[in-house]
């Protein structure tokens, strides 16, 4: 256990239900990509070489989603539910990148103003994309948590809706449509591995699996350099922890009440991987699947390659949650 500190948990929002997920699927029909779920023989070979004998891997390619990541599903589901006054006031959010792009995309679709607070040295690919989508970008602080504090101040000053990355039931319900699709595409999965920053993707997977595929194990994975969600789940309390991972989509320094509640009820296991193991999985995606994964997007595959005994002999779904990798990140993964 890290030298984490307890966070006082206040009463938070109620988690969505599978009925909310089905409503989100109807709302998002035609607005999001039904991303492919593909098997790659060379990825299976890499899993076997790592020690996961008999494993077969199915990749849910959310890196091919609008904005290059799964989060747009949740953002659209949230913004499409706004009334006229809420649209006029707009939204403020804090993000290291993919949440920001998703909200900027959804706000443009809904006609709502959008301000995004990002740490002062963001992934340039993601920052450019957010600005291109028409959002105002405020750079503040060195971490996700610094950006979160500033976003709260801006929301109070402007009256815009503060949109968090995890404690948002409509975001989780929207994100859950990816798991709903995957179960239709690959109904024979034994285990589903999902990367965790704030935990919306893993919580969403738990909700859908619990309702529609009770025999399916959901396994979360987080960067060992930013283990707050992992530590919160293991302890049963919301915790803060060091937040130093290079994978900005996983760079979250605290647990979130809504997602942790769902994870405690349904999650089968929670694994950690190092930044170097994530980079190795990015390299495997590039060379074995011919696909670009950012660090967070490669974390699920990293879990399979790093903890092979956990997945041997099983049909494993891995969520490639995003593909917004910078050039420097890809060079590092390839060792060039």
Give me the active site residues, please. 71, 321
Compute the half-sphere exposure of residue 306: CA atoms within 13 Å on the CB side of its CA.
22
200 and 75 Cβ atoms separated by less than 8 Å: no
What gap in Å lies between CA 135 and CA 123, rounded to an integer? 16
Token representation of residue 322: 């995003």
Residues near 198 by beta carbon (within 8 Å), at least 6 away in sequence: 164, 165, 166, 229, 252, 256, 259
Which residue stretches of the chain are H helix? 18-28, 41-50, 72-79, 84-89, 98-110, 124-132, 144-158, 169-185, 200-212, 228-235, 257-266, 275-288, 295-306, 327-334
**CA distances in angstroms from 53 to 94, 276, 280, 311, 318, listed in the order given:** 41, 23, 19, 8, 17
Report the b/e string of 194-208 with b at 16+ CB within 10 A: bbbbbbbbbbbbbbb
Bridge partners (DSSP) of residue 317 are 58, 192
Residue in the structure block whose two tokens are 């949740």: 74
Residue in the structure block whose two tokens are 């859950």: 176
Closest C-alpha among 103, 102, 141, 106 to residue 122: 141
């Amino acid at each position: 256990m890290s030298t984490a500190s307890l966070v006082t948990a206040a009463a938070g929002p109620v988690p969505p239900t599978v009925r909310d997920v089905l409503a989100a699927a109807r709302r998002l029909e035609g607005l999001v990509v039904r991303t492919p779920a593909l098997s790659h023989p060379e990825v299976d070979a890499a899993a076997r070489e790592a020690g996961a004998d008999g494993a077969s891997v199915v990749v849910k390619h959310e890196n091919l989603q609008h904005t290059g990541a799964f989060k747009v599903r949740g953002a659209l589901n949230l913004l499409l539910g706004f009334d006229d006054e809420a649209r006029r006031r707009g939204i403020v959010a804090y993000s290291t990148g993919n949440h920001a792009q998703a909200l900027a995309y959804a706000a443009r679709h809904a006609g709502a103003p959008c301000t995004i607070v990002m740490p002062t040295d963001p992934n340039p690919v993601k920052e450019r994309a957010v600005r291109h989508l028409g959002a105002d970008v405020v750079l503040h602080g060195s971490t996700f948590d610094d950006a979160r504090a500033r976003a709260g101040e801006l929301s109070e000053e402007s009256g815009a809706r503060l949109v968090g990355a995890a404690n948002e039931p409509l975001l989780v319900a929207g994100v859950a449509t990816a798991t709903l699709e995957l179960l239709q595409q690959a109904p024979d999965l034994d285990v589903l591995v999902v990367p965790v920053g704030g935990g919306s993707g893993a919580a969403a997977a738990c909700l859908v699996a619990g309702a529609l595929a009770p025999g399916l194990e959901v396994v979360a994975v987080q960067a060992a350099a930013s283990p707050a969600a992992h530590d919160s789940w293991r302890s049963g309390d919301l915790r803060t922890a060091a937040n130093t991972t290079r994978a900005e989509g996983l760079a979250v320094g605290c647990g979130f009440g809504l997602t942790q509640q769902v994870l405690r009820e349904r999650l089968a296991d929670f694994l950690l991987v190092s930044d170097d193991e994530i980079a190795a999985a990015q390299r495997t995606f590039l060379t074995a699947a011919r696909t670009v994964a950012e660090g967070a997007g490669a974390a699920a595959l990293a879990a399979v390659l790093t903890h092979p005994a956990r997945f041997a002999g099983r049909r494993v779904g891995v969520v490639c949650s995003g593909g917004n990798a910078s050039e420097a990140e890809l060079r590092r993964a390839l060792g060039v």
